[in-house]
Amino acid sequence: MPSPQSCPKKQEALDFLALCHNELGWDQAKLSIRQTAARDAFDDNQPWQPSFEELEHGARVAWRNNARCIGRLFWSSLEIRDKRNLREPEAVAADLIEHIRHATNGGKIKPLVSIYAPEDQHGPSLRIWNHQLFGYAGYGKQANGHYLGDPKNEKFTEIAQKMGWQGKGTDFDLLPWIIQKRGERAQIFNPPENDCLKVALRHPSFEWFADLGLEWYAVPILSDMNLRIGGLNFRAAPFNGWYMGTEIGSRDLGDEGRYNKLPVIADKMNLLGKKTETLWKDRALVELNEAVLHSYSEDGVRIVDHHRASSEFMRFVKKEQSEKRLVSGDWSWLVPPMSGSATEVFHRGWKDHKSLPDYQIQRKAWELAD
């Protein structure tokens, strides 16, 4: 007998297959065959098996539906790596290197998702503990008052250290990977140093900027989200697009709770020691963001500025409206963290319709392992 919990998931699968029928041009016979297969699997209390075509469309639609992403104009270009046969941490770690190489593409970054073994009736098959495949260690405040590394990753760094990893003790130490198979202890893998394309930041006008020693990685690969397709949960499905400049300049490097580089930049610009009305934070923020865009462009790494990203998102909205599809949006994520009111997305109201498929936030894996 099917469990009561399977019924909503079964309907979700049937609805998703109807979506494929409508959007991929299936005939009625194919829809009937695929819905019957899904219905039988759920009635037997087994996860159904999407075809590659279904998996591909589901992953793309999940990007299209994600309320937090401003870069959805390119949802249909997402490439899918079907790795559902992989569930051993060693094999997954080796395969993640291939994801990185393909996504990085010499700086011409490709939107890409790798989909590993799905959750079944016994729970998640696999979890990647890292928030992103690339991330910098956070070591805490030092004796000189300086915070070493990225505060965002302090807890993960502590976990990795307890598992035996030791970084070099710099502001930009790549974190190792922690991967766990169901029923087994999590395993730790060395940071992907040789395959991480990094960009050293410099400024087109300020020669001193390079001496700050700032850097960032080229590809943001989210690795702790749940890909939900047709009632199935793919708890390990690392996904990447490319960076919007303000994600790095305004948030990663500019936020007080992150690298907090605005004071040192303002000091170099001789803006400190004056009244706050001089808008020193704003001026430093603009120069930091210009350095990010300049450096990525000079190194041939794909990136988009926030004004272009906003314009592209509004093109996406118009296309979706022409297809009579609702557009989910989270205002606090869509509005860029710099010059928000100068972008069109600021002046619109957005609602998250919770449409499926989607890339969903899930509880941190280490919390479940405690």
Query: What residues are labeled active site?
Result: 69, 72, 242, 247
Residue 52 makes CB contacts below 8 A (sequence gap 6+) with 80, 82
DSSP 3-state of 240 = strand
Nearest to 256 by CA among 361, 168, 364, 337: 337
Contact 257, 147 (CB under 8 A): no
Residues β-bridged to residue 271? none
Tokens of 9: 């998931």
Q: Is 109 left (phi over 0), alpha (psi -120 to 50) or beta?
A: beta
Which residue is associated with the tokens 């007080």? 256
Which residue is associated with the tokens 């749940």? 226
Contact 93, 178 (CB under 8 A): no
Strand pairing category for 232-234 and 303-304: unpaired
Residues β-bridged to residue 147? 141
Contact 203, 211 (CB under 8 A): no
Side chain identity at 116, as an amino acid letter?
Answer: Y
Nearest to 188 by CA among 85, 92, 100, 82: 92
End-to-end Cα spacing for the chain: 33
DSSP 3-state of 266 = helix
Contact 284, 262 (CB under 8 A): yes
> Would you tell me how many other CB atoms lie within 10 Å of the CB of residue 170?
12
Please give the full DSSP string across 153-222, using - where no structure is assigned.
Answer: GHHHHHHHHHTT-----STTPBPPEEEEETTS--EEE---GGG--EEE---SS-GGGGGG--EEES--EE
